[in-house]
């Protein structure tokens, strides 16, 4: 077939057999066996009528978990950062002003998104570990009445703090702004009420409190946001993430037209995870996260850990804690992983080497995980 | 937890049980049970040392399948169109001239990518079903000596035609241009020799001749292409696809820094598919595709089908054929799907309703598939 020998020869690489970790970091979270097994279901075509029916159900399930009637509710074929970029590139046109609230890593990523989309980012900064200050946002709005969008992170994965999404959306409406909300870590763990709060564009991740496989991003856009996309004067800079094109596949019209090949098996998994979410009921799911947080909190405080975030703003699904004095966090984290197959997260940025982020997301948020974690810590400390 | 009742109530949606189709369309292809089962392996963290080791192996496997020593060989966390966009947004800066060869659907998508990246696309058009004409490209180069990049599709998924990638790359080098090559449908089915041909940037898809789950895109960049990225004067417009950031995770340096959460389980699947590719050996794999094509060709011609593409340019893995006169292609395709669980592809664009695209990609390229397909057709026609 080809004249010469192959230039690059084979090496011997065998199948990968991952260890059985417990995932108690900032995500991915543990996946229920039922959801994990759904990944290996038979692959069918992305235009198969049966697959299209599954996609309709997935849209309905996405609406339920976001608590919205938004017609443009779907799952982006990429991880949370692709979902984030979908929101920014579709809503921003060159020259647009966007207020970005930053109180951790992910607000900084939003700034990058605004600038790379040709917009101007007006930064409202708060300390890491503190919620977004609504007064500062109101001031920024007064100083910039031509602001088009307010973007903020509902649940900061870098610090475990929850901001007042409802209040921020109310403020945005007063100034006739659209909102872009990062719900990567909040969705499925604490209330995220898209219609009640009036969120315009929201994205999340599959691998946090929804406990599906990493690599997908559920999104939802309000009618107002869809209008903004339809009225764009310029093309969206990304072909792959251009919702005016993607909608033709997800839209549920008479005929779905091909845009890109959907990640079939990953979507089976997302469907199954959301079916389980629906079976449990969102209210019960939120309560479960809250209850498990209280159990973990009591145990960690007994061991001398203390929380970074003030009580009213703590995320039950992501516990950012300072270790007891004098402990080498890196060494202990390594022992947890190697001796107990237990993953907890380290700190980021200024908190690197100082805090842990202990996740109780989705399927991880159960008594067994909390007890296992506390027992492991008792044996090490 | 929240005051009011949930606005959006649950509907009863149950687990999805996909039918067992045989996938003989333009992709996704059938997946070997061993590869399919790898998807359900235990999920671990994207910074877990064991996962990082798997990623090193995956890089090595990617180099093998692309036949390259390129250090920047990796798997994009999105489908082929995300891989395409990765090549274009990283190599194009505003004002750059790009010659785009179009002889089917995907050349048109390249044009969109060039323009949305701020570049100028110089189109070299060939009829659908014909390979790219090197003389026309040479003329375009003469007329545009300041061209930075030549972009073309090696194997057009819309028509089943193969273009002369080696010749086009040689031409590009004569004019000191970079090349961007779409190998979505070629990789793993026919020779793709990145180093020998001197390809600068290449992308493929997981779901064609590699027979992994849809949703990933292997890519590879030459040293010259990496230099071009390093010397950019402007930031890459996509944060998600910015290789200068992604490389820090995939680069294999001392410490992998977090960029985005990798699609863990999908990467298990890609790893397993490439391990199988390595076990078989690329030369044997190419031969298998070729042999199965000959078998299918003989059977289809006996039944009165005739090929769209001239023999020297035909892709063994994607057989574009006109049906025997007087048959309703849509009705027969539907019968194949419903009565035989067999998916073949219809035509696109001007060929919609006129041709079929019968895929023999990856795991689908076996005697059993060919015989099943021919027997089903014999019963219907």
Segment B240-269, tens digit of pLDDT: 999 999 887 776 544 667 789 999 999 999
| CB-based contact A2 B191, cutoff 8 Å | yes
Residue A17 lies in a domain: no
pLDDT at position A256, please?
66
Instruction: Identify whether residues B41 and B174 lie together within a single domain.
Output: yes
> In terms of domains, do A296 and A199 share one?
no
The mean of the pLDDT values for chain B is: 95
CB A373 within 8 A of CB A28: no
Partners of residue B239 in chain A, C-beta under 8 Å: 81, 85, 109, 112-113, 116
ipTM score of complex: 0.96
Q: Domain limits at B355?
A: 22-29+281-380
Q: Does A232 touch chain B (CB under 8 A)?
A: no
- Asked whether residue A4 is domain-assigned, the answer is no
Whether B98 is in a domain gets the answer: yes
Nearest CB neighbour to B6, from listed A14, A67, A79: A67
Q: Average pLDDT over chain A, rounded to whole?
A: 95
**Are residues A257 and A313 part of one domain?**
no
pLDDT at B4: 54
Same domain, A167 and A271: yes
**Which distant-in-sequence residues (6+ apart) come within 8 Å of A177 by Cβ?**
A99, A141, A147, A148, A149, A150
Answer yes or no: are the C-beta atoms of A362 and A119 closer than 8 Å: no
Q: Report the CATH number at residue B369.
A: 3.90.1150.10
Residue A105 Ramachandran class (φ > 0 left, ψ -120 to 50 alpha, else beta):
alpha
Position B3 pLDDT exceeds 50:
no
Residue B11 forms part of a structural domain? no
Rounded CA-CA distance B332/B324 in Å is 12
A291 touching chain B per CB within 8 A: no
Instruction: Identify the closest residue of chain B to A236 by CA–CA distance.
Output: B116
Over residues B204-229, the mean pLDDT reads 97
Q: B330 and B205 share a domain?
A: no
Give me the mean pLDDT over the A162-169 stretch: 98
* Residues paired with residue B358 on neighbouring β-strands, in sequence order: B319
User: Do A242 and A351 share a structural domain?
Assistant: no
- How many domains would you assign to chain A? 2
* Percent of chain A whose pLDDT exceeds 90: 92
pLDDT recorded at residue B120: 98
CB of A249 closer than 8 Å to CB of A74: no
Q: Looking at CA atoms only, how far is residue B25 from chain A in angstroms?
A: 8
Nearest CB partner across the interface for A48, out of B11, B78, B343: B343
Q: Let me know whether B240 and B224 are in one domain.
A: yes
Which of A278, A302, A328 is a domain's end point? A278
Per-residue pLDDT averaged across A120-124, rounded?
98
| pLDDT over 90 (residue B5) | no
pLDDT for position A228: 97
- pLDDT value of position A251: 64
Q: pLDDT tens across A335-373, in order?
A: 999 999 999 999 998 899 999 999 999 999 999 999 999
d(CA B240, CA B320): 35
pLDDT digits (tens, 9 = 90+) for B35-70: 999 999 999 999 999 999 999 999 999 999 999 999
Show Cβ contacts of residue B109 under 8 Å, excluding neighbours closer than 6 positions: A239, B81, B84
A 158-217 near B (Cβ less than 8 A): 191, 193, 195-196, 205, 207, 213-216
Alpha carbon distance B334, A79 (integer Å): 34
Contact B155, B133 (CB under 8 A): no
| Nearest-angstrom CA–CA distance, B107 and B102 | 4
Indicate whether A348 belongs to any domain. Answer: yes
Q: The tokens 């391990």 sit on which residue?
A: B275
**DSSP letter assigned to residue B315:** B
Say what angle helices B367-380 and B329-340 make with each other, to 10 degrees: 120
Q: Do A256 and A351 lie in a common domain? A: no
Domain-ending residue, one of B262, B278, B294 = B278
Judgement on whether residues B274 and B370 belong to the same structural domain of the protein: no
- Residue B266 contacts A, CB cutoff 8 Å: yes
Q: Which residue of B has its CA nearest to A239?
A: B113
pLDDT confidence of residue B10 = 78
Percent of chain A residues past pLDDT 70, beyond the cut? 97
Q: Which residue on chain B is closest to A263 by alpha carbon?
A: B215
In this prediction, residues A321-334 reach a mean pLDDT of: 96
Question: What pLDDT, on the 0 to 100 scale, is given for residue A41?
Answer: 98
Distance from A68 to chain B by nearest Cα, in Å?
A: 6
Residue A381 above 60 pLDDT?
yes
Instruction: Identify whether residues A197 and A301 lie together within a single domain.
Output: no
Q: Is residue A16 part of a domain?
A: no
| Mean pLDDT of the region B180-209 | 98
> Are A223 and A300 in the same domain?
no
Q: Residue A1: pLDDT band by 50, 70, 90 thresholds?
A: very low
**b (16+ CB within 10 A) / e for B115-133:** bbbebbbbebebebbbbbb
Q: Are residues A191 and A68 in the same domain?
A: yes
Residue B345's pLDDT band, with cuts at 50, 70 and 90, is very high
B287 CB near a chain A CB, below 8 Å? yes
Confidence band (pLDDT; 50, 70, 90) for A7? confident
Which residues of chain A does B112 touch, with a Cβ-Cβ cutoff of 8 Å?
239
Does B68 fall in a domain?
A: yes
Query: Is B101 part of any domain?
Result: yes
Phi and psi at residue A177, to the nearest 5°: -100, 155
The CATH number of residue B193's host domain is 3.40.640.10
> What is the tens place of the pLDDT at every residue in A212-265?
999 999 999 999 999 999 999 999 999 999 999 988 777 654 466 778 999 999
Residue B160 near residue B314 (C-beta atoms within 8 A): yes
Span A22-71, pLDDT tens digits: 999 999 999 999 999 999 999 999 999 999 999 999 999 999 999 999 99
Last residue of a domain, one of A225, A249, A278: A278
């Amino acid at each position: 077939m080809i004249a010469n020998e192959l230039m690059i020869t084979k090496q011997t690489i065998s199948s990968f057999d991952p260890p059985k970790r417990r995932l108690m970091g900032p995500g991915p979270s543990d996946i229920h066996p039922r959801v994990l097994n759904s990944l290996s279901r038979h692959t069918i075509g992305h235009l198969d009528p049966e697959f299209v029916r599954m996609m309709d159900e997935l849209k309905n399930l996405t609406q339920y978990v976001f608590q919205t009637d938004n017609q443009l509710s779907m799952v982006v074929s990429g991880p949370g950062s692709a979902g984030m970029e979908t929101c920014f590139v579709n809503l921003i046109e060159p020259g647009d002003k966007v207020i970005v609230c930053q109180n951790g890593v992910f607000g900084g990523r939003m700034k990058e998104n605004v600038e790379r989309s040709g917009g101007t980012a007006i930064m409202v900064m708060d300390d890491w570990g503190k919620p977004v200050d609504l007064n500062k946002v109101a001031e920024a709005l007064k100083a910039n009445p031509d602001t088009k969008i307010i973007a903020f992170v509902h649940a900061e994965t870098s610090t475990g703090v929850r901001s007042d999404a409802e209040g921020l959306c109310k403020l945005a409406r007063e100034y006739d702004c659209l909102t872009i909300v990062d719900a990567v870590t909040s969705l499925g763990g604490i209330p995220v009420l898209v219609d009640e709060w009036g969120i315009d564009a929201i994205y999340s991740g599959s691998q946090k409190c929804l406990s599906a496989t990493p690599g997908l991003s559920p999104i939802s856009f309000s009618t107002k946001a869809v209008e903004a996309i339809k009225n764009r004067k310029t093309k969206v800079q990304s072909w792959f993430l251009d919702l005016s094109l993607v909608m033709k596949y997800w839209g549920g019209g008479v005929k779905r037209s091909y845009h890109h090949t959907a990640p079939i098996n990953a979507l089976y998994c997302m469907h199954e995870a959301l079916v389980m979410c629906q079976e449990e009921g969102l209210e019960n799911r939120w309560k479960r996260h809250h209850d498990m947080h209280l159990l973990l909190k009591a145990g960690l405080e007994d061991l001398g850990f203390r929380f970074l975030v003030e009580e009213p703003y703590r995320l039950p699904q992501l516990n950012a804690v300072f270790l007891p004095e004098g402990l080498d966090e890196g060494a202990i984290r390594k022992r947890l992983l190697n001796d107990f197959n237990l993953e907890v997260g380290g700190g980021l940025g200024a908190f690197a080497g100082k805090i842990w982020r202990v996740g109780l997301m989705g399927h991880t948020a159960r008594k067994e995980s909390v007890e296992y974690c506390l027992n492991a810590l008792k044996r090490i400390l």
